[in-house]
A and B are shown apart, each in its own frame.
Chain A
Amino acid sequence: MTDSKVLVIPCSGIGKPFGTIGREATFTVVDELRPGKADTNCLSLLVMGDPDAKRQVQESLCVAVDGCPLECARKNIEIAGGRIDAHVRVMDLLRDNRGLKPRQVTFLDEDGEKLAAILAERIAEKVDDLYTGGSR
């Protein structure tokens, strides 16, 4: 069991709604659903070599949240020396919820908000699994 918070890192892609969905779901988990168990940090800060951010990613159990198949969150965590303990992808969520078609990027529309809420629950489950059973 780990005493440190699980680190949830979204890709925060800016070109399509999927990055916004992952980002918003992450904030929901970290700030509302699992505030004592989960934390996040700036993806760009850790890739740019910030010592505190790098140490955090290297010492934490990590959940990568990726919007598109390019998987930038996963790749950047690995570049920073972290290990992926769980990986959630918005594309998988879309496949399971074909009726929801998010279109807005800047501020999510209704379908985007619904997907972000579903994704947040999935991430929270991963956090629970890792926080209670993970080890590093």
Chain B
Amino acid sequence: MNIKPKIGVVSCSGECCILGTLSRVATRFILEGVRADTVTLCLPLFLAGDSGEREFAQRFPTVSVDGCHKLCAKKAIEKFSGPTAASVDMEKLLMEWGEEPTGTRKTLSAKDVEFAKRIAQEVAKRVDEAREDQDG
């Protein structure tokens, strides 16, 4: 039997602003279909010291999805489990695209949902690259 090694996608918690909600929704899109063979790590659980979450990030490649330049998800993984395979800084991405979210941290606008889908595609590229590295 050929078991496909897993890849973890980790969103920041991002309660401060809408960028955190966007990173969370983009990560959920990945799990729900864009790359349904990935798993997510619960960052709050990881930060609270859960050994299962931390061990997963030590054994398998992870892609962090951060809402802002503070990169909490990336830094947390690297502090407690080792380097991430790739990371996405949404604030930087939106700046490159010349776009700004228009909804709120509680309720995304239709345009924001489209951003989240577009961000999920960027995350998917990183997941595919990590998978290629994993497969050798």
Question: Is there a chain A Cβ closer than 8 Å to B45's Cβ?
Answer: yes
B26 shortest CB reach to chain A, Å: 10
Q: How far is the CA of A26 from the CA of B15 in the complex (A)?
A: 9
Stretch in contact with the other chain, from A71-79, A85-93, A94-102, A128-136 = A71-79
Segment from B71-79, B93-101, B121-129 that makes contact with A? B71-79
Of A26, A42, A105, which is within 8 A of B12 by CB?
A: A42
Chain B contacts with A in 15-65, Cβ cutoff 8 A? 15-16, 20, 24-25, 27-29, 32, 40, 42-45, 47-50
With an 8 Å Cβ cutoff, the count of chain A residues facing the other chain is 32
Q: Which of B29, B44, B76 contacts A12 (CB 8 A)?
A: B44
**Cα-based distance from A106 to B24 in the complex (angstroms):** 8
Q: Which one of A14, A28, A70, A107 contacts B43 once the chains associate, using CB atoms below 8 Å?
A: A14
**Shortest Cβ gap from B38 to chain A (Å):** 13
A31 within 8 A of B: yes
Q: How many A-B residue pairs have CB under 8 A?
A: 95
- Expressed in whole angstroms, the minimum distance between the Cβ of B90 and any Cβ of chain A is 14
B11 at the interface (CB under 8 A from A): yes
Q: Are B48 and A72 in contact (CB under 8 A)?
A: yes
Q: Is B4 positioned at the interface, with any CB of A under 8 Å from its CB?
A: no
Q: Which of B76, B105, B106 contacts A44 (CB 8 A)?
A: B76
B44 near A50 (CB under 8 angstroms)? no
Q: A44-B14, A44-B76 are in contact. Are A72 and B47 (CB under 8 A)?
A: yes
B70 interface residue, CB < 8 Å from A?
A: yes
> Nearest 3 pairs between A and B by C-beta?
A72-B44, A44-B72, A27-B106
Residues of A within 8 A of B (CB): 9-15, 19, 23-24, 26-28, 31, 40-45, 47-48, 50, 70, 72-73, 75-76, 79, 105-107
Query: Which B residues have a C-beta under 8 Å from some C-beta of A?
Result: 11-16, 20, 24-25, 27-29, 32, 40, 42-45, 47-50, 70, 72-73, 75-76, 79, 104-106
